[in-house]
Structure formats: structure tokens, C-alpha cells
Amino acid sequence: MNYLEVFGTLVGLVYLWLEYRASIYLWLACIVMPAVYLVVYYQAGLYADFGINVYYLLASVYGWIAWSRGRKKKNIQQTEEETPITRMPRKVYFPLTAVFILCWVVIAWILITWTDSSVPWTDSFTTALSIIAMWMLARKYVEQWGAWMIVDWVCCGLYIYKGLYFTSALYGLYAVVAFFGWRKWLNLMTEQACDQTNKE
């Protein structure tokens, strides 16, 4: 049993719960989890996933800052408001898709050329889409859940193939919870819109 993988899985469950609740503290779990999986993925020969966790560490800092900027103090109660959940603007779809395809091809080429990866295209696909999904999460776009659902299901199969059964189970759970997270965020977005209307 890979105890480091088990620990990473437990941290992942905490992260999942915090993300579902749209809590800013998800970024703290998102700092610990990549640090653990850097070792797990390297040992499994999943080099693109290894690389994406370096990105996750950096993106987590950005995410914390981006969400914190939306906070502001209010009156005597000092109540905090975070950046609101929104839909992704249509003008972002095309450039984001182009960035995804570019990342996928470049990462696959790197894996094929410079590593002994046995799953270069699948590994690079999940890595490229994770880069996009992480940026969407940092911007608090509700559509990020759709991107994560695709990543999670593909990763679930990939990790079974690589013998990472605890991690595969975690990503299978991610995929299921992502659906409910998407619905939860839609409800939160509606509530935020109603609150804003009432304030006006």
C-alpha cells in the first residue's frame, strides 16, 4: 500500500468538500495535495501529472489572491464578501479552447520526445484540461465543474491502468461530486444575484 497516495487521497477529500462549499480555504488544501502527488505521480511515471502539480501549487497562490480580492469589510460587523460566482463570458471560449489544444499537443510532444511515458496523449489531455479548469476555478466560473468532470472520468480510467487504485477511486468520487458541485454553484449564483438585487 502506498501510504503517501492514501494521505493525498484524504487531503483530496477535504479539498473536494471545500470546493463544493465554494470556500476560499480550498486553496490551502490545494497547496498540500500537489506537494504529495508530486512524489506519487513521479513514482508512477505520470510525468505530465507530475508537472501539472507544480502548476497547481502556483495556481493555488493565484487562486487565493484572486478570491481574496473580492473580499471587503462591511460596516461594524466586518462581514466578508468573496468574489461572486459567475458564468464564463462567451468571448473567452475560443481563446481558452485554443490554449487547451496548444497545451495538449505541446505536452504530448514533450512526453513522447523526452520521457518514457506509456500514456503520453491521455496524460497530456488531462494535464492540459486541468490547466484550463484550474484557471476557471480561480476566476470562479461555474463552468469549471464541467471541465473537471471530464478530467475526473478520464483520470479515473488512467489511474486504474497505472495501478493507482486509491487515486482512481478519489477521481471517480470527484466526478460524481462535480455534478452536485455544479448544481450547488448554480444555486449559490442565483442567491448572490437575488441578494445583489435586494441591496439595490
pLDDT computed for residue 92 by the predictor: 96
pLDDT computed for residue 77 by the predictor: 40
What is the Cα–Cα distance from 108 to 44, expressed in whole angstroms? Answer: 17
Residues 6+ apart with CB under 8 A from 158: 46, 119, 122, 123, 126, 168
**Domain layout of the chain by residue ranges:** 3-73+89-199
For the segment 166-184, what is each residue's pLDDT rounded down to a tens digit?
889 989 998 998 999 999 9
pLDDT computed for residue 119 by the predictor: 92
Residues 6+ apart with CB under 8 A from 193: none
By three-state DSSP, how is residue 141 classified? Answer: strand
pLDDT computed for residue 190 by the predictor: 86
pLDDT computed for residue 172 by the predictor: 93
Cell triple for residue 136?
476557471
* pTM summary value: 0.77
pLDDT computed for residue 51 by the predictor: 85
Cell triple for residue 123?
496524460
Instruction: Kindly report the number of other CB atoms within 10 A of residue 139's CB atom.
Output: 18
Q: What phi, psi does 141 have (nearest 5°)? A: -85, 135
pLDDT computed for residue 121 by the predictor: 95
Residues in the chain where the model's pLDDT stays below 70: 1, 70-82, 195-200
pLDDT computed for residue 198 by the predictor: 61
The residue behind cell 513521479 is: 42
For 29-179, strand residue ranges (E) read none
Half-sphere exposure of 38 (CA within 13 A, CB side): 13
Cell triple for residue 67?
478570491
Cα–Cα distances (Å) from 130 to 71, 181, 182, in that order, read 26, 17, 16
pLDDT computed for residue 145 by the predictor: 95
Cell triple for residue 113?
520526445
What is the Cα–Cα distance from 96 to 84, expressed in whole angstroms? Answer: 21
pLDDT computed for residue 154 by the predictor: 96
For the segment 126-146, what is each residue's pLDDT rounded down to a tens digit?
999 999 998 998 899 999 999
Largest CA distance in the chain: 60
